[in-house]
């Protein structure tokens, strides 16, 4: 007789009735949440502290978690985004967008710009000037490679609303690049 693994919903229900059962969820989601936070903080010690805070808040508020059709991970990532934002606000630090060459190439293409060294520099400058919320949209879509539906779940928005916001940010980046290019000429 084959034993079946409990599904995520069963694990959540079990943890809601007995917090000691939260360990299964923690074990499953710790690494993805840690990596998600690390991409935004880029410091292992601080990332570990923030990730611990994410899971503490999740455990404390698990009794309020409702099944809405969104994956449990979306709820965890939303808590993680809030914790990262709080970290940057408390320390009056600026958010940084970690970029690699593939990220720059894809984002430059999406912004409708040619892939040149100058455009990469202008895009990086424009990204660093974005407000926090818009930076998160770009990170989630292009650097974390989330679908619009996954982003909608994480951000608590509709899929259409998420798409609209991303395309508005892309348009803003394109305009910013154009203005920066004009100033240099």
pLDDT in tens, 100-137: 667 777 777 887 788 778 877 888 888 888 888 888 88
Q: How confident is the model at residue 183 (pLDDT cuts 50, 70, 90)?
A: confident
- Within the chain, all domains assigned CATH 1.10.10 are found at 101-184
- pLDDT for res 5: 56
Q: What is the mean pLDDT of the chain?
A: 84
- Contact of 45 with 71, CB cutoff 8 Å: no
Q: How many CA atoms lie within 13 A of 85 on its CB side?
A: 12
CB atoms within 10 A of CB 50: 21
- pLDDT for res 128: 81
**Mean pLDDT of the 14-23 span:** 89
**Distance of alpha carbon 120 from alpha carbon 43, whole angstroms:** 25
pLDDT in tens, 132-153: 888 888 888 887 888 898 898 8
Q: Which fold has domain 101-184?
A: Arc Repressor Mutant, subunit A (1.10.10)
- Within the chain, all domains assigned CATH 1.10.1740.10 are found at 8-90
**Distance of alpha carbon 38 from alpha carbon 91, whole angstroms:** 17
Q: Would the pLDDT of 3 be above 50?
A: no
Q: Would the pLDDT of 94 be above 60?
A: no
Q: How confident is the model at residue 53 (pLDDT cuts 50, 70, 90)?
A: very high
* CB burial readout 141-159, b (16+ within 10 A) else e: bbbbebebebbbbbbebee
**Mean pLDDT of the 15-38 span:** 90
User: Which architecture characterizes domain 8-90 according to CATH?
Assistant: Orthogonal Bundle (1.10)
Residues 6+ apart with CB under 8 A from 178: none
The CA angle 61-50-67, to the nearest 5 degrees, is 30
Instruction: For residue 122, count CB atoms less than 10 angstroms from its CB and return exposed for 0-12, middle for 13-18, buried for 19 or more.
Output: buried
């Amino acid at each position: 007789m084959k034993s079946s693994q409990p599904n995520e919903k069963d694990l959540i229900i079990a943890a809601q009735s007995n917090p000691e059962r939260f360990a299964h969820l923690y074990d499953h989601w710790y690494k993805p949440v840690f990596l998600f936070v690390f991409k935004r903080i880029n410091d292992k010690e601080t990332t570990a502290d923030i990730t611990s805070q994410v899971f503490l808040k999740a455990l404390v508020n698990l009794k309020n978690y409702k099944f809405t059709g969104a994956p449990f991970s979306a709820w965890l990532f939303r808590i993680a985004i809030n914790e990262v934002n709080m970290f940057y606000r408390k320390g009056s630090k600026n958010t940084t967008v970690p970029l690699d060459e593939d990220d720059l190439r894809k984002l430059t293409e999406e912004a409708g710009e040619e892939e040149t060294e100058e455009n990469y520099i202008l895009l990086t400058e424009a990204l660093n000037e974005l407000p926090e919320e818009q930076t998160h949209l770009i990170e989630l879509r292009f650097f974390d490679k989330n679908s619009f539906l996954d982003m909608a779940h994480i951000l608590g928005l509709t899929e259409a609303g998420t798409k609209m916001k991303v395309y508005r940010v892309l348009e803003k980046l394109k305009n910013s690049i154009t203005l920066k290019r004009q100033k240099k000429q």
